[in-house]
Structure 1
Amino acid sequence: MMRLSDPQWTVLAPLIPAPVKPTNRGRPRRPDRDVLDGILWVLRTGAQWAALPSEYPPKTTCHDRFQEWNERHVFPAILAALYELSEEAQLLDLREAFIDGTFSAAKKGARTFGPTKKGKGTKIMIMVDASGVPLAVHTCSASPAEVTLVQDTLDASFGLDFPERLIGDKAYDSDGLDADLAVLGIEMIAPNRRNRRKTQDGRSLRRLKRRWKVERTIAWVQSFRRVRTRDEVKAENFLGMVQLACIIILLRLISG
């Protein structure tokens, strides 16, 4: 079973807001920890809500609570708080960051997806720090080129600080992107495509050897089957699942 550890819950509990309309009518509200454990079971297994084992609260309770938190933007707020905790614990290294995108196949009925050679799906953009700690996550249709999604990914950053250098593969080789990031004080490092003039210093390109860190983080995110394959009809619900996966990754780093 997928359950939060006591140290993880100690970190997370103060970050979960009280219900909007507390009421004394009807059945008592199920504890947030129990419900979140049920949501995490769906996130980890990729199973339908109806398949929730009896050890967890009912499917409607878990789904409704997930919907409530997602609509109230609770997950981005938690990510921002965990970012600050990571800074305080000196877990972040913003001297350089890595960016990459991955593909999640969208099942029938999903909204806001794009056709690609792999089929219809959603693109997940991830930025991590020099150690592979998640800094930002953004989801969109799979059709746009990754070079056009960098600014949106930066806008989705969990914190306010930008990295000194942003490192990507050839997909991010663009004079326009270089110029836009330079305004923000970010140096874009990406190998030039064959049809492009040489604009990168060979010494800077050595940093590409560490791109495995963002690939490792992507593998961590995709270990949650609800993220690997998109079942959510609404794009905002799928983003909520991806954000929740990042929350668990950050919790593991912070709580040890």
Structure 2
Amino acid sequence: MRRHELSDAEWAALSRFLPSSGTAGRPRSDDRVVLNGIVWKLRTGSAWRDVPERYGSWQTLYTRFRRWALDGTFSRMLQQVQAEKDAAGDIGWLVSVDSTIVRAHQHAAGGRKRGDRSGDETADHALGRSRGGLSTKVHLACDGRGRPLGFVLTGGNTNDCTRFEAVLESIRVPRIGPGRPRTRPDHVIADKGYSSRKIRAYLRERGIRHTIPERADQVLGRLNRGRRGGRPPVFDRATYRLRNVVERCFNRLKQWRGLATRYDKTRESYQATVTIASILLWI
């Protein structure tokens, strides 16, 4: 096994979920070699054309990567790995939510616009333009051990609190056997950026306990209203200290250079990059 390649244990865990090759057509390139080439490319952040020849044609690697990204193969891999961990009792349902900014390389620009052609790059490929240039924001929920449960991509100029519900709804861990997928955490931890009445009401309606500190302006506004301001929300400092697991999760994900800087033009390709990195964190 070379640097940045899948170990035997990782390949054994992932090979079960790859689509069958079929029998018609030319002989198919070995799936393990192709997947090793994809992982090498994403870990190093290299261009597809610069992937070493030992992994075969770069066109084959890119075609297989795009096919598996578009047909949901990588997403199904992540869900099945999570399902097995959940069945073994290995998921901590004390969930932390946060986001991180990823600077987009100039090669990430220029993707073909789809749908609304009004120039809204955020709606097309999760790219947002700000004073720092193009960027993407990864909104993520991780379990109590710092492993991604679900994530949402937006432009880098998107406010965190506007995607809170979408992040929680991206959590979908199937059951091994009968039963609906698990979508509801036991407890949610988030920072002051998620402190809003709408988010707290959403969590109460779903019966999810939460630890979210109030912003200073919210505290002052509540005090100025006197009795009409109501009581402050319950806040447990000891529980809030556990929020650092999501920061550690981002730190581990950004060891992948193809994730720490976005080179992909399309939303689907970059989403597949984050998904592959998440899968290997779980394994």
**Corresponding position of 1:123:** 137
Rounded to whole Å, the distance in 2 between the matches of 1:40 and 1:238 is 13
For 2:16, the equivalent position in structure 1 comes to: 14
Output the CA distance in 2 between the equivalents of 1:57 and 1:239. Answer: 24
Deviation at 1:117, TM superposition (A): 4.8
- The alpha carbon displacement at 1:23 in A equals 4.6
Q: Work out the percentage of aligned pairs sharing the same amino acid.
A: 27
Q: CA deviation at 1:137?
A: 1.6
The runs of 4+ residues in structure 1 deviating greater than 6 Å are none
1:169 aligns with 2:183: no
Q: 1:131 to 1:25 in 2, by over 3 A?
A: closer
Is 1:190–1:205's contact at 8 Å kept on the other side of the alignment? no
**For 1:110-189, what aligned pairs fall within 5 Å after superposition?**
111-159=125-173, 160-189=182-211
Q: Deviations over 1:72-100 (max 9, x none)?
A: 01111111101111112221111x21011
- Look up the match of 1:254: none
- Distance, in Å, in 2 between the alignment partners of 1:127 and 1:176 is 18
Q: CA deviation at 1:116?
A: 3.4
CA distance in 2 between counterparts of 1:9 and 1:66 reads 16
Instruction: Map residues 27-46 of structure 1 onto 2, 5 A cutoff.
Output: 28-46=27-45
Matched residue, 2:25? 25
What displacement does 1:42 show?
0.8
Deviation at 1:142, TM superposition (A): 1.4
Distance in 1 (CA, whole Å) between partners of 2:250 and 2:187 is: 19
Q: Which position in structure 1 is the counterpart of 2:85?
A: 86
Structure-1-length-normalised TM-score: 0.91
- Please tell me the residue identity of whatever aligns with 2:269: N
C-alpha separation in 2, matches of 1:72 and 1:24: 20
Residues 240-249 or 135-144, more deviating: 135-144
- Contact map agreement 1:115 1:142 (CA 8 A) in 2: yes
Q: Which position in structure 2 is the counterpart of 1:4?
A: 6
Superposed displacement of residue 138, structure 1: 1.5
Number of residue pairs matched by the alignment: 246
Q: Distance in 1 between matches of 2:45 and 2:72?
A: 22
Structure 1 Cα separation of the partners of residues 259 and 192 of structure 2 = 25
Q: 1:187 to 1:118 in 2, by over 3 A?
A: farther
- Shift of residue 205 of structure 1? 3.1
Structure 2 contact 126–153 (Cα < 8 Å) conserved? no
Please tell me whether the aligned partners of residues 178 and 187 of structure 1 are also in contact (alpha carbons under 8 angstroms): no
Cα deviation code 1:107-131 (max 9, x no counterpart): 2315431123543200001111122
Return 5+ residue gaps in structure 2 as ranges. Answer: 112-124, 174-181, 223-231
Contact 2:147-2:278 at 8 Å conserved across structures = no
Q: Are positions 1:53 and 2:52 aligned together?
A: yes
For 1:222, which of 254, 257, 262 is the aligned residue? 254
Letter in 2 for 1:178: R
